[in-house]
Structure 1
């Protein structure tokens, strides 16, 4: 539609359920967020009545820190709610972009939100759906949004609310009507997220989050001292024991109704200013006081999915396929030399998804491409990829992920120099990989490289990059020898094989039926298979599970004999860390023998060849791998949305990891604050100590360059219907 209830619709906004949100201009010229509520809610008489009551109550809320709806209609065919529009980022976005807020800033935010909730409750309203994405960060402080809707949904059709901040009484009785104490519990979750960067009960999957809320204590391990007791009180399982909003101001030490705003850190001020300077179509840029330059007042609201980030972007030109051994085009923004419409800042991480938002901040029109920076210099990020060989799908996905991150950075961050991408193809050939590494290493503008794609290219490339002193972030190769001299500049941005083995052991120990496990070492897949089998063997609790090892020599072709030997040894489960074709052969033999116990494969089996070759015998096999499936992972929904819009396709394997690696590089460069591109050694030093909460996993490194992010970074997949289904995180925890 182009018009609704006297509002001119400018475009659709991403939004969390329920309904569809539009950016609209009222008849009086004010920008609004217009939410249209669909069936089954709008067809439900009780909903319409509750919606009318909630909207009327919300309009009585008068608070500097809360945004009330201004209009609604329950009598029309389409039920809708109009709220003022603010061009500000939400809390989930800001935390994902810059990390947790300082303790004192978190305290100020908590006090102002408590003050807003006190006003909401005094009006007879319960928010019932407070998340980090419902909190906008305006120049002077937070704004609580989303009033008057969630409470009306209870008892009126299937309830769809983000689970991450639900109180136990909401998670356990989804059809019950919530009381004010649920908002205090949610505020505790929001404050945890604000000062730690994560949620106290996790972000996904939804069912697991609900279970933790109902059965486990909140994880407050890294909440700063001075806020721990306050947040812990908010998260009490008994609603009667939680503090009231009025009690919270006293605990937080701030006077309600005070005129002082929140003292944001400088980078948050900059993010808010940049967001306000980016105007949607037909809207003049907003001033710091919320007034548009055209004179209309644009005070506002936006939930985590629609805080002024309208997807008014064209898909843009898709990067072309490069020729073998040649440079591909540099980033599209630089190549076109004109302002690219709709450059984006994607704010990643589990917190954004958990908050119920898409996690994407559209930045309006970007600056013109090309080196318009003050110095005229350019820092290049090299992408060393297989774009024409056996791993071309992975190489291209990594390239697109890197391009997306660099384009967003170029559109939203002004440095004294430009940042761009240079891509070279090694075709999956180890000799060519060494040549590509030499070529990128010889280019003085290249300050870091992401790649290579394939296992066979990894070592010759890494050795050359070390000789050139060039930081190398390796994503998909599994193993590098533990040789600090040969790989001094390597940052291995994924869990290695031994770390993933801990996820396998964790899974086995969680199954009380498993007493003996077959461990198949495929010598044709060395060294990875041997490392995996030895790691599983060493981590098993021998008092609970007995390992039954079997070695497949190179050239062996007797899967039936292997299966018979394992079954004769009385196995209850089997782990195969070898090639996809070898796993498929054993799967068929085990299925023919009637074995249906747990069957687990390593990442080499996460290829189409496995289910295609094994057929029905592949059903139920689990695969552990160090890459996310962004199209199916809740924490990656924002990345997937932007990727689809930018490239008009689904993100391929390792695309999110490529995006994260590029973000780590550009954010590190930004934080270094140099007037010219930093030299390679300085950048390497800073990358070694850098941290990023990425789309796929946290990124941080140990002194030897290995990933150092605890038990995160591996994922489970299961074969169903001949396809791999993403199950979620695979904790890599020791027994």
Structure 2
């Protein structure tokens, strides 16, 4: 459960001697620490680069204040914090036991009595949370640790006061799909109150007693849909009222009621529904299976046996013994031997001090921009377009007479798969010449490797990945050089709201598209409602071939426009059915349908469809004329989608590299991340700007295309308002 400290980790934080790593994420690291008195603590340390971001520091300060407001024996107490430190930190009491998620995964479902006691104590914790005017909002198996004397509720990072405005957007789904409430799944904002935590508690208890989430597993959109519309799967839990199983089943049904008003309060669970499972004051609680208890004991002994760390130079006392010259020579010799073994003569040459001050490192090596993309798989057309756009930008830069350095391109083909992505990322990370990476080219591969790039602090700039999960994670080295998928779907609602006489838009979400389809449909629904249009929504299961019944249902309801949220093959099936029925109203779809496959499969039925995108058609944009001419000369072909966007992104990189290069030395990778997030660049496709705190795209950059004469005709920038 713990890992050794890295050489870059501090030796102590806030009076805690650090012993090991407990975990790491995009925004920081959680360490196992020991106080001078010998008490163990979990110390959450935020990366120093976020210290200058007021919004982030406010968020962390709120987490500290929120956690301190909860006083319950079943919630992990805060033992220290400094949100104003250069690297803000928060310490809580360390619990050596596993999470419910880990315990169930390793030992199987918990006995019914264990789950009843678990529910009683967690309800007591939530009673204190709600009494403090808070909503936890992320009650899930991973956020409950098991100890011999009872569970501990942890992680108040996204908790919110019931009487304050959340820092997160009111329209954002906050929580963990599969363990959140219907009101969270539908992003109802202020409607997410204490009953939401009770629903999540029901999900958690169902998981603990059955070993499976009550709304199944799979893509986030599927889980959210089932949470709102389907009944929970509680099969296998006995229903006889006079048994513990039956009483637990009754409680689960009450907690998992769709209407928040029908759920019990935490107080009612403690004092009425599970009153016989009272927890003795100060006495032992025999509530966990023997194998779980043995695991907790083993972990406790290992934690207590961890040795202290010797003081480092940074925090050693003033009278600490300094290494002797002989000792120092031995360390340097050992380090040189390791460098020689790892990198040969090139690594040794990098440490030499023979060049005069100001000598350029580019005399002996060429700095590189990496490209991780699908260059040989099913999405190779887009990946190859990005590589070509990047190469063209670098070749044009290298042709300048007064260039301060020379660049090259280094590629890593991930074949567009999550299996190939890690090796591609590792190849670029280990190449010291690579200063930044363009890519990856789809959401799945990006999610797979961004944590790895984060660990190396290697800047990653994506022009084609745009999933909501990418923008909701706290990645340190990521920049999204395009609006998110949900934003790209906005113009569909704007377009319909601007039409005179629009009354009832039909909205079909194809679950073949999983998260992508859900994001597009959710954002469109919210915006349509904001414009006063209530859509007629329908959802079809994944891989549905026969769409005629659902299309007939929607037409029978009297829809006057149609929005499809999914991929190109499904859109083609729908287009053919609409054409066969003689429907001539507006038909719209998001970027994924802007694919030659849609034209091929739909045929004449594709005519008139309006599509949104985050990319331009370089042949139809006057500002891209010079780029298009250079591209055709270099590659004897028209630039494909994303080629111009990749060209712009690499020119943005070059702009910041030129400004930051000093005395022939490039900026370090971590420094470059900060510079890029604060940069602005006017490209041929759009104006690039980012939110410094998370690297998300800060601008519009959404475009319209329409099928006309069997081809996609570029209409220009999409309107952002009616």
TM-score in terms of structure 1 length? 0.48
Larger of the two Rg values belongs to structure: 2
- Which structure shows the bigger proportion of residues in helix conformation? 2
TM-score in terms of structure 2 length? 0.48
**Which structure is higher in RCO with an 8 Å CA cutoff and minimum separation 6?**
1
